[in-house]
């Protein structure tokens, strides 16, 4: 899922400095699951902003709302009109939600409450890690299902660099060397032949370096 | 042969190859690269030029490589994937090839996190293996990475790669070498080897894979410079295995550098024995000087003469040639300039000499003149001596000659100023002329002489000692003989000086007289004109307090002086007459006053002031003018004399004696029915008196202390606060400054003061300056609190500018500390107090009250002028604290603040005030509440005197009204003192006396 | 406590979230003895584990100068890890306060053994001292 985290409060306070009526709008999609923008987080953020503004001597009126998703047009329908009642709508969805509101609800001043960080998995309660870079050209079949594009600091294609020590990445002892894991996995599966083959230089166009990406499935188009 | 580089040739020839390393500088210094290259030249077969190693920005490897090449050292250009994408890399490769670089080491590159730009975006468009593949394809396939053909001049490089035998997973490392070989590497340089044993195992696998036959492996070595460096590498460089043996060897070594070189040589010898090792790569990081020695000790020198190292760019010899040519040119240029400068310098030196001669002659000329002047002065001095003698004879040998002589003898060394000597000459001739011309009697002559002497002294710097009167034997101007022009001018100067002195001594009428006399002689004299204006103003404002003889009422109008229109003269004369009339009236001489006013009205029948004066005089008001209330009449004598000297009619010596007689006590007199006592002081300390009781049972020391604040300036400044204990708990702590009392005065006549209070001040109600002075001179006030009640928008609503001027007059008229207390209307106070601060310049008055409504604007003003302020809040601890915090946030220091907690009089909520003040003080002293560690000001007089109890008349039930009021004020004050008050603002002189006696008794 | 009770005038409101099993028993005891300062607002929770960050923030928003949570001591929680969760939320709240430029010392977690009153007294004292040190959060 998409992982996001709340922006620092001072940054949000700055963002809404001129706002007197605000809607904090959560999303029950990915950001709710990763505890960044669900109902609970909406409540906490709204409380914090009220307190911060009261302390600054500029009380603010805040409504709280959470949509099922902010990335599907049907859920955004009510916001088209309701959103205009507010000086700003502070979206607690990922960047997709913020963009989609900006696209779909003209006249609504939408602001981001979160930094959208990566595609990741929930390692344990309260801990998430990046697993995919959305590069558009998956090679996981060659790497034992572990992605060197997302999980290697240098996005290497042909094995661990000289900084891999004890299974750890050179940039940080807390980061595992994914290529070490790939080596171990392929060796144990007797697929080590894959390690000897040169993976050719990548085509980065599908990963976004070819411009904004769009997917169309003809059979589903209206 | 792939590229035909020297390195390739050495390796192919089968000789044990040696490569070095050259780190480009973090600047654009050509010489650094060249010097390093020269050190390595001839000792290695090729030199690696690093590409921003450890991701720190440095000169590019291509550029530095070219510099090395120009020195005849073959570069191995390093190329990383961190900073360029495939477009940039291929472009650089084409350039390097064009300029003759033949070896390329392909690396992925250190992560940008390690360098000095960790914020940068790492490119990593490809990895090192893909890079090798790309460059090989360019060379062998004559194709760009995209597949486009390179039509000619394809880059031909001898390609290398890196390998780290010590990184993990170990088993994979040889496989990775194989991959690199497959991708195009012809030689491999390894990570620094200290753990030879592990490297040997790595080589075993390499050989097993048959790689040693496909690729030249150069073993990486580095001489450790110190134990510290070895430890650092072991700890912080990922994938570097420094053995304990190496560290131990360095630790035990006498010369760690030498030992480092030995270690390196040993390792080279060991790896050379390992099959498949084709050479060494010596990385002497920032220690290139060690390389020749290592190569030599390892038995690897001499190196084969390099072949085919032919730079496409100009060699350094050629550069040197150009440089030396340029140097010669520059030298010639400099010499030419120098020659020119020298000639100029000589010319200016000549000029200076010429000037010097001129000046010398001028100086000697001046010296001669000076000597002449001195001679004249000496002659004059002799003459003065003679004159003095004469003077002494003509007088009965009293005071003044002595002072004259003293001043003469004081100045004897430096010779009398020509002014003084001229004046004395003119004095002499003037006196003689007078005696002859007028036949005046002996006494008059004596008086005249004295006057002149004194005036002469006044015009010199000794004036301050002279207090003799000037009014004796006034010389009517019209009777005076016409003196010669010079002495006439002197006369004017003397008169102006006299006028100024008189003005300074508050004798405005005398001053007016003096100035007018001066103007009569010299109507154009500017100083006299200015002085007259000032004196007249002063005359209008001040009412002389002294018993000086009233000036005689002049008969008729004197003749109009030259240079003044008759109208103007008449107008001035009228003003003077009115002034004289007013003085007379004040003195109680109604007849003379009437005469003055009538004379004035004759000249100017519609003069308002004269009319008013006449009316007053006629209504006999003069008699009613308070011969100020009885109680202070006897007091006056005992109150210490004011520091402002008054005009006295006594000669100097007598006056000094009189001064000595003034008693020094500050306790006012006994007031009828109310004994002002002196409290018997405790003689021993509390612990002595308590005897058996342990001190810790009654003693509770405080941890906090009240801040100190200074009010006013100069000798009469007072300091408040500083207490580190509860009020008067002197057995527990210190109270460095005793509480003080300020007299509260108003800037307009009070409307509702009871008689028993106003009788002390009614004579000065109309003039706050006189009021303040009365408080100071008669009642010994140590501070004044001027309430600007007239500005109250709900009352008189006097404009701020007007009120400010009055306040300014008070502030400038007295020298004790002043508290300016606004009317309580936040906006108006801001306006008025700002106006005042603009007028008074550097005088430090305390301004207030600052409330939450105007603390910003007034706080800023106080900050700008460094003035203390009164922070006023409605009886509440938190509000008081909050206001202090707000003021502090504004930038004011707490040392500038006096807290006004808003107080009530006794019977009018004093217990509330007491409680709040006590809590504030406890918080400040025992709870370290810093924001409350500020002294209190209690403006209590106004609260007390508006109570009902102070207004009810005397009767049998309530007793004497005045005693009642005095006690109410004194008890209110003592209560607030016990609550911690530091500055009391009070009104009744008796109440002040009582309170002062209490304070004296307590400390 | 008597001193504290009297000093409440100058520190403003303190909100205490108390565990129903332990801390609340203590506050009830204190209340019976009329020893609860009038500026202390005790709010009972079935378990401090259910305290929400937003509730802590709201307490400040509604005028509290300081807020604390009093839960069970480690190992004594009726719901095993309730007070441990509460502590983490207090820590998270501290971070939010810091981002709002409010001193994180204004919120604190305390652990109280059932029946003990002293830790509550100490907690109130400590929070009072902190308020005095930090000054007023809300202008009056």
Pairwise CB contact (< 8 Å): A157 & B127: yes
CB distance C65 to C14 below 8 Å:
yes
The answer to whether position B464 is within a domain reads no
Q: What is the pLDDT of residues C18-56, one digit of tens each?
A: 988 777 778 888 888 877 888 899 998 888 999 999 999
Read off the pLDDT of each residue in B348-362 and give the average, rounded to a whole number. 88
A129, A191, A183: which is closest to A156 by C-alpha? A183
Asked whether residue A18 falls in the same domain as residue A77, the answer is yes
The answer to whether position B833 is within a domain reads yes
- What's the pLDDT score for residue B563? 62
**Chain B, nearest residue to A153 by Cα:** B111
DSSP A89-119: EEE-S-HHHHHHHHHH-TT--EEE-EEEEEE
- Tell me how far apart the alpha carbons of residues B76 and B45 are, in angstroms, rounded to a whole number: 10
Q: Indicate the range of B155-159, B234-238, B639-643, B934-938 predicted with least confidence.
A: B639-643
The token pair at B891 is 């930038």
Q: At what angle do helices B30-40 and B290-297 cross, to 10 degrees?
A: 20
- What's the pLDDT score for residue B695? 75
Q: Which residue has the higher pLDDT, C16 or B599?
A: C16
- What's the pLDDT score for residue B982? 94
- What's the pLDDT score for residue B540? 66
Chain C residues closer than 8 Å to A35 by CB = none
The contact set of A with B (CB < 8 A) is 153-167, 170-171, 177, 180, 183-184, 187, 192, 195-196, 198-202, 204
- What's the pLDDT score for residue A64? 96
Q: Which residue has the tokens 């170990």?
A: B170
Q: Which segments of B588-723 does DSSP mark as H helices, in order?
A: 590-603, 608-618, 621-624, 632-638, 652-661, 686-690, 695-698
- Tell me how far apart the alpha carbons of residues B785 and B776 are, in angstroms, rounded to a whole number: 12
Looking at the predicted structure, is the pLDDT value of residue B949 above 70? yes
Report the residue from A8, A43, A55 with minimal CB separation from C102: A55
The answer to whether position A217 is within a domain reads no
- What's the pLDDT score for residue B794? 87
The answer to whether position A58 is within a domain reads yes
Asked whether residue A72 falls in the same domain as residue A106, the answer is yes
The answer to whether position A24 is within a domain reads yes
Pairwise CB contact (< 8 Å): C54 & A50: no
The overall average pLDDT reported for chain B is 82
Chain B residues closer than 8 Å to A200 by CB = 130, 133
**Chain C, nearest residue to A6 by Cα:** C96
Instruction: pLDDT band for B553, please (50, 70, 90 cuts).
Output: low
Q: Indicate the range of A175-184, B65-74, B664-673, B807-816 predicted with least confidence.
A: B664-673
Cβ–Cβ contact B241 with A under 8 A: no
B781, B386, B718: which is closest to B771 by C-alpha? B781
Asked whether residue A27 falls in the same domain as residue A101, the answer is yes
- Tell me how far apart the alpha carbons of residues B623 and B645 are, in angstroms, rounded to a whole number: 28
Q: What is the pLDDT of residues B838-882, one digit of tens each?
A: 888 778 899 999 998 888 888 888 888 889 999 999 988 888 998
What SS3 state is found at B271?
helix
Q: What is the pLDDT of residues B770-809, one digit of tens each?
A: 999 999 998 999 999 999 999 999 888 899 989 999 999 9
Neighbour tally for B148: CB within 10 Å: 9
Full residue range of the structural domain in which residue B852 is found? 710-1002
Read off the pLDDT of each residue in B362-375 and give the average, rounded to a whole number. 89
**Chain B, nearest residue to A199 by Cα:** B130
The token pair at B563 is 């240079």
DSSP C19-77: ETTTHHHHHHHHHHTT-S-TTEEEEEES-GGG--HHHHHHHHHTTEEEEEEEEEPTT--
Instruction: pLDDT band for B701, please (50, 70, 90 cuts).
Output: confident
Asked whether residue A9 falls in the same domain as residue A84, the answer is yes
- What's the pLDDT score for residue B138? 97
- Tell me how far apart the alpha carbons of residues B784 and B797 are, in angstroms, rounded to a whole number: 23
Looking at the predicted structure, is the pLDDT value of residue B625 above 50? no
CATH of the domain at A63: 3.40.50
Read off the pLDDT of each residue in B223-235 and give the average, rounded to a whole number. 91
Query: Considering A85, A118, A151, which residue would you say is the last residue of a domain?
Result: A118
Neighbour tally for B267: CB within 10 Å: 25
- What's the pLDDT score for residue B525? 72
Cβ–Cβ contact C9 with B under 8 A: yes
Chain A residues closer than 8 Å to B130 by CB = 157-158, 198-201
Task: Name the domain count of chain B.
Answer: 2
Question: Measured between alpha carbons, how far is residue B520 from residues A182, B18, B489, B517, B717 in Å?
Answer: 116, 113, 12, 5, 44
- Tell me how far apart the alpha carbons of residues B231 and B226 are, in angstroms, rounded to a whole number: 9
Chain C residues closer than 8 Å to A13 by CB = 100
CATH of the domain at B772: 3.20.20.20
The answer to whether position A214 is within a domain reads no
B658, B516, B634: which is closest to B579 by C-alpha? B516
Half-sphere exposure in the Cβ direction for A183 (13 Å, CA): 21
Task: Name the domain count of chain A.
Answer: 2
Q: What is the pLDDT of residues A20-61, one digit of tens each?
A: 999 999 999 999 999 999 999 999 999 999 999 998 999 999
Read off the pLDDT of each residue in B928-938 and give the average, rounded to a whole number. 92
Asked whether residue A152 falls in the same domain as residue A92, the answer is no
CB distance A92 to A26 below 8 Å:
yes
Read off the pLDDT of each residue in B597-607 and give the average, rounded to a whole number. 78
Chain A residues closer than 8 Å to B169 by CB = 160, 164, 180, 183-184
Contact residues, B window 101-130, toward A, CB-based 8 Å cutoff:
108-111, 113-114, 122, 124-130
- Tell me how far apart the alpha carbons of residues B551 and B443 are, in angstroms, rounded to a whole number: 21
Q: What is the pLDDT of residues C94-127, one digit of tens each?
A: 999 999 999 999 999 999 888 788 888 899 999 9
Looking at the predicted structure, is the pLDDT value of residue B664 above 50? no
Report the residue from B879, B927, B929 with minimal CB separation from C140: B879
Looking at the predicted structure, is the pLDDT value of residue A187 above 90? yes
- What's the pLDDT score for residue B477? 46
- What's the pLDDT score for residue B5? 93
What SS3 state is found at B20?
strand
Query: Considering A93, A118, A143, which residue would you say is the last residue of a domain?
Result: A118
- What's the pLDDT score for residue B423? 61
**Pair type for strands A168-169 and A172-176:** antiparallel
- Tell me how far apart the alpha carbons of residues B615 and B604 are, in angstroms, rounded to a whole number: 16
Cβ-Cβ contacts under 8 Å for A16 (sequence gap 6 or more): A22, A49, A60, A88, A90, A111
- According to the 3-state scheme, what is the secondary structure of B624-650? HCCCCCCCHHHHHHHCCCCCCCCCCCC
Read off the pLDDT of each residue in B946-963 and give the average, rounded to a whole number. 88
Q: Which residue has the tokens 């430029």?
A: C101
The answer to whether position A212 is within a domain reads no
Asked whether residue A23 falls in the same domain as residue A90, the answer is yes
Q: What is the pLDDT of residues B453-508, one digit of tens each?
A: 655 655 554 444 444 444 444 444 444 444 456 667 777 777 777 777 777 666 67
Full residue range of the structural domain in which residue A8 is found? 2-118
Asked whether residue A55 falls in the same domain as residue A139, the answer is no
Looking at the predicted structure, is the pLDDT value of residue B605 above 90? no
Q: What is the pLDDT of residues B816-826, one digit of tens each?
A: 999 999 998 98
Q: At what angle do helices B196-208 and B172-183 cross, to 10 degrees?
A: 60
- Tell me how far apart the alpha carbons of residues B697 and B716 are, in angstroms, rounded to a whole number: 41
The answer to whether position B63 is within a domain reads yes
**Phi and psi angles of residue B910, each rounded to the nearest 5 degrees, phi first:** -65, -30
Domains of chain C in start order, with CATH, are: 2-132 (3.40.50)
Question: Measured between alpha carbons, how far is residue C12 from residues A133, B895, C3 in Å?
Answer: 52, 26, 15
Q: What is the pLDDT of residues A119-158, one digit of tens each?
A: 999 999 999 999 999 999 999 999 999 999 999 999 999 9
Looking at the predicted structure, is the pLDDT value of residue B672 above 50? no
- What's the pLDDT score for residue B616? 76
Question: Best residue in B927, B928, B931, B933 to probe C by mutation, most C CBs within 10 Å?
Answer: B927
Query: Considering B280, B297, B313, which residue would you say is the last residue of a domain?
Result: B313
The answer to whether position A112 is within a domain reads yes
The answer to whether position B446 is within a domain reads no
Chain A residues closer than 8 Å to C60 by CB = 51
Looking at the predicted structure, is the pLDDT value of residue A88 above 70? yes
Pairwise CB contact (< 8 Å): C100 & A13: yes
Percent pLDDT > 70 in chain B is 80
Asked whether residue A111 falls in the same domain as residue A184, the answer is no
DSSP B178-243: HHHHHHT-SEEEEEE-S-HHHHHHHHHHHHHTTGGGTSEEEEEE-----HHHHHHHHHHSTT----
**Chain A, nearest residue to C89 by Cα:** A44
Q: What is the pLDDT of residues B607-618, one digit of tens each?
A: 777 777 777 777
The token pair at B898 is 């006096």
The answer to whether position A143 is within a domain reads yes
Pairwise CB contact (< 8 Å): B882 & C140: yes
Pairwise CB contact (< 8 Å): A154 & B111: yes
What SS3 state is found at C112?
strand
The answer to whether position A220 is within a domain reads no
Pairwise CB contact (< 8 Å): C58 & A8: no
- What's the pLDDT score for residue B638? 44
Cβ–Cβ contact A44 with C under 8 A: yes
Strand-pairing partners, residue B79, are: B106
Pairwise CB contact (< 8 Å): C135 & B878: no
Interface predicted TM-score (ipTM): 0.92
Give chain A's end-to-end CA distance (angstroms, integer): 27
Question: Measured between alpha carbons, how far is residue B670 from residues B73, B539, B667, B986 in Å?
Answer: 111, 36, 9, 19
Report the residue from B168, B171, B178 with minimal CB separation from A167: B168
The token pair at B609 is 């002031």
Asked whether residue A199 falls in the same domain as residue A142, the answer is yes
Chain A residues closer than 8 Å to C52 by CB = 40, 43-44
Asked whether residue A74 falls in the same domain as residue A139, the answer is no
Read off the pLDDT of each residue in B926-944 and give the average, rounded to a whole number. 91
A180, A158, A129: which is closest to B238 by C-alpha? A180
Q: State the DSSP H helix or E strand holding residue B281, giving kind and residue range, or none if neither.
A: strand B277-282
Looking at the predicted structure, is the pLDDT value of residue C130 above 60? yes
From A173's Cα to the closest Cα of chain C, the distance in A is: 26
CATH of the domain at B214: 3.20.20.220
CB distance B783 to B800 below 8 Å:
no
Pairwise CB contact (< 8 Å): B882 & C139: yes
Asked whether residue A110 falls in the same domain as residue A18, the answer is yes
Asked whether residue A139 falls in the same domain as residue A172, the answer is yes
Neighbour tally for B157: CB within 10 Å: 27
């Amino acid at each position: 899922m998409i992982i996001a985290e709340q922006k620092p409060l001072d940054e949000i306070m700055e963002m809404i400095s001129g706002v007197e009526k605000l809607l904090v709008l959560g999303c029950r999609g990915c950001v709710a699951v990763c505890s960044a923008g669900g109902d609970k987080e909406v409540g906490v953020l709204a409380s914090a902003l009220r307190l911060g503004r009261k302390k600054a001597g500029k009380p603010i009126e805040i409504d709280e709302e959470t949509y099922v998703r902010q990335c599907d047009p049907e859920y955004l329908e009510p916001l088209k009109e309701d959103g205009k009642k507010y000086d700003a709508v502070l979206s607690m969805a990922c960047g997709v939600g913020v963009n989609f509101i900006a696209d779909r609800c003209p006249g609504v001043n939408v602001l981001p409450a979160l930094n959208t960080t990566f595609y990741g998995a929930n390692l344990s309660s309260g801990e998430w890690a990046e697993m995919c870079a959305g590069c558009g050209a998956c090679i996981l079949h060659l790497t034992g299902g572990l992605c060197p594009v997302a999980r290697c600091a240098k996005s290497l294609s042909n094995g661990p660099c000289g900084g891999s020590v004890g299974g750890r990445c050179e940039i940080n002892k807390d980061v595992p060397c994914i290529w070490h894991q790939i080596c171990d996995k392929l060796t144990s599966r007797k697929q080590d032949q894959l390690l000897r083959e040169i993976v050719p230089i990548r085509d980065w166009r599908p990963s976004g370096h070819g411009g904004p990406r769009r997917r169309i499935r003809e059979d589903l188009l209206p | 042969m792939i590229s035909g580089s020297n390195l390739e040739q050495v390796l192919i020839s089968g000789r044990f190859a040696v490569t070095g390393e050259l780190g480009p500088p973090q600047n654009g210094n050509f010489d650094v690269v060249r010097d390093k290259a020269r050190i390595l030249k001839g000792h290695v077969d090729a030199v690696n030029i690093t590409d921003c190693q450890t991701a720190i920005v440095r000169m590019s490897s291509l550029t530095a490589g070219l510099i090395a090449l120009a020195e005849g050292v073959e570069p191995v250009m390093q190329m990383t994937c961190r900073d360029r994408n495939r477009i940039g890399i291929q472009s650089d490769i084409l350039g390097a090839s064009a300029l003759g670089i033949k070896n390329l080491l392909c690396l992925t590159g250190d992560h940008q996190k390690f360098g000095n730009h960790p914020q940068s975006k790492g490119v990593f468009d490809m990895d090192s293996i893909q890079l090798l593949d790309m460059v090989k394809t360019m060379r062998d396939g004559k194709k760009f990475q995209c597949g486009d053909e390179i039509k000619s001049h394809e880059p031909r490089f001898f390609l290398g790669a890196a390998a780290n035998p010590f990184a993990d997973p170990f088993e994979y490392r040889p496989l990775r070498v194989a991959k690199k070989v497959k991708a195009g590497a012809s030689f491999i340089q390894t990570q620094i080897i200290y753990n030879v044993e592990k490297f040997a195992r790595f080589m075993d696998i390499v050989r097993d894979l048959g790689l040693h036959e496909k690729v030249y492996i150069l073993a990486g070595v580095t001489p450790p410079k110190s134990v510290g460096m070895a430890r650092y590498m072991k700890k912080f460089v990922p994938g570097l295995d420094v053995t304990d043996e190496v560290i131990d060897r360095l630790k035990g070594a006498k010369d760690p550098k030498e030992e480092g070189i030995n270690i390196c040589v040993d390792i080279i010898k060991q790896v050379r024995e390992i099959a498949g090792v084709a050479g060494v790569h010596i990385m002497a990081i920032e220690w290139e000087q060690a390389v020749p020695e290592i190569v030599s000790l390892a038995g690897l020198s001499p190196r084969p003469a390099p072949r085919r190292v032919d730079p496409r760019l100009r060699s350094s010899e050629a550069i040197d040639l150009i440089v030396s040519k340029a140097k010669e040119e520059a030298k010639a240029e400099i010499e030419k300039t120098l020659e020119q400068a020298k000639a100029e310098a000589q010319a200016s030196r000549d000029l200076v000499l010429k000037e010097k001669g001129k000046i010398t002659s001028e100086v000697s000329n001046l010296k001669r003149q000076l000597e002449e002047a001195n001679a004249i002065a000496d002659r004059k001095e002799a003459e003065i001596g003679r004159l003095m003698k004469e003077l002494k004879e003509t007088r009965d040998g009293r005071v003044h000659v002595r002072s004259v002589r003293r001043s003469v003898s004081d100045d004897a060394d430096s010779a009398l100023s020509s002014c003084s000597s001229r004046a004395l000459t003119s004095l002499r001739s003037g006196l003689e002329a007078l005696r002859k011309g007028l036949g005046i009697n002996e006494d008059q002559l004596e008086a005249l002489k004295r006057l002149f002497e004194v005036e002469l002294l006044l015009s010199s710097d000794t004036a301050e000692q002279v207090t003799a009167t000037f009014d004796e034997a006034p010389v009517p101007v019209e009777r005076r003989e016409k003196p010669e022009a010079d002495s006439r001018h002197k006369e004017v100067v003397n008169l102006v000086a006299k006028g100024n002195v008189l003005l300074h001594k508050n004798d405005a009428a005398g001053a007016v007289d003096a100035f007018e006399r001066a103007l009569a002689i010299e109507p154009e004299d500017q100083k006299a004109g200015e002085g007259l204006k000032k004196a007249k103003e002063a005359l209008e404002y001040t009412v002389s307090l002294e018993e000086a003889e009233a000036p005689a009422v002049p008969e008729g109008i004197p003749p109009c002086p030259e240079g003044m229109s008759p109208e103007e003269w008449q107008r001035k004369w009228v003003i003077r007459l009115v002034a004289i009339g007013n003085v007379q009236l004040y003195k109680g001489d109604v007849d003379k006053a009437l005469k003055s006013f009538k004379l004035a009205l004759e000249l100017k029948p519609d003069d308002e002031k004269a009319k008013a004066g006449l009316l007053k005089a006629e209504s006999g008001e003069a008699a009613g003018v308070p011969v100020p209330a009885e109680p202070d009449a006897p007091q006056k004598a005992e109150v210490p004399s004011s520091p402002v000297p008054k005009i006295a009619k006594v000669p100097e010596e007598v006056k000094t004696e009189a001064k000595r007689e003034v008693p020094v006590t500050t306790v006012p007199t006994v007031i009828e029915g109310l004994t002002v006592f002196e409290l018997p002081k405790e003689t021993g300390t509390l612990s002595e008196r308590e005897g058996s009781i342990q001190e810790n049972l009654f003693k509770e020391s405080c941890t906090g202390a009240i801040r100190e604040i200074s009010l006013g300036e100069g000798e009469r400044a007072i300091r408040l606060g500083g207490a580190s204990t509860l009020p008067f708990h002197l057995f527990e702590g210190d109270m460095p400054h005793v509480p003080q009392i300020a007299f509260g005065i108003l800037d307009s006549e009070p409307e509702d003061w009871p008689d028993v209070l106003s009788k002390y001040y009614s004579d000065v109600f109309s003039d706050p300056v006189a009021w303040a002075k009365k408080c100071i001179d008669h009642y010994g006030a140590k501070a004044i609190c001027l309430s600007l009640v007239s500005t109250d928008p709900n009352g008189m609503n006097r404009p701020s500018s007007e009120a400010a001027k009055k306040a300014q007059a008070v502030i400038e008229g007295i020298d004790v500390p002043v508290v300016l207390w606004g009317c309580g209307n936040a906006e108006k106070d801001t306006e008025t107090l700002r106006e005042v601060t603009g007028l008074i310049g550097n005088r430090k008055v305390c301004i207030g009250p600052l409330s939450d409504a105007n603390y910003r604007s007034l706080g800023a003003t106080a900050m700008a002028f460094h003035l203390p302020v009164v922070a006023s809040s409605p009886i509440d601890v938190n509000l008081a604290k909050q206001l202090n915090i707000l003021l502090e946030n504004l930038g004011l220091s707490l040392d500038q603040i006096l807290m006004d907690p808003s107080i009530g009089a006794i019977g009018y909520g004093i217990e509330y005030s007491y409680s709040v003040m006590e809590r504030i003080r406890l918080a400040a002293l025992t709870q370290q509440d810093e924001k409350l560690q500020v002294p209190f000001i209690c403006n209590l007089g106004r609260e007390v005197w508006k109570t009902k109890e102070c207004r009810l008349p005397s009767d049998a039930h309530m007793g004497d009204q005045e005693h009642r009021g005095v006690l109410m004020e004194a008890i209110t004050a003592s209560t607030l003192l016990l609550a911690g008050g530091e500055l009391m603002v009070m009104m009744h002189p008796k109440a002040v006396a009582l309170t002062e006696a209490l304070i004296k008794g307590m400390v | 406590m008597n001193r504290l009770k009297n000093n409440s005038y100058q520190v403003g409101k303190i909100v205490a979230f108390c565990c129903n099993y332990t801390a609340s028993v203590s506050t009830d005891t204190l209340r019976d003895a009329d020893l609860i300062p009038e500026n202390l607002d005790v709010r009972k929770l079935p378990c401090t584990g259910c305290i929400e960050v937003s509730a802590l923030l709201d307490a400040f928003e509604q005028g509290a100068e300081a807020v604390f949570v009093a839960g069970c001591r480690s190992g004594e929680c009726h719901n095993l890890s309730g007070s441990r969760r509460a502590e983490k939320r207090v820590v998270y709240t501290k971070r939010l306060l810091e981002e709002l430029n409010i001193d994180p010392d204004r919120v604190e977690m305390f652990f109280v053994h059932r029946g003990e009153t002293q830790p509550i007294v100490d907690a109130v004292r400590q929070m009072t001292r902190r308020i005095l040190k930090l000054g007023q959060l809300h202008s009056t």
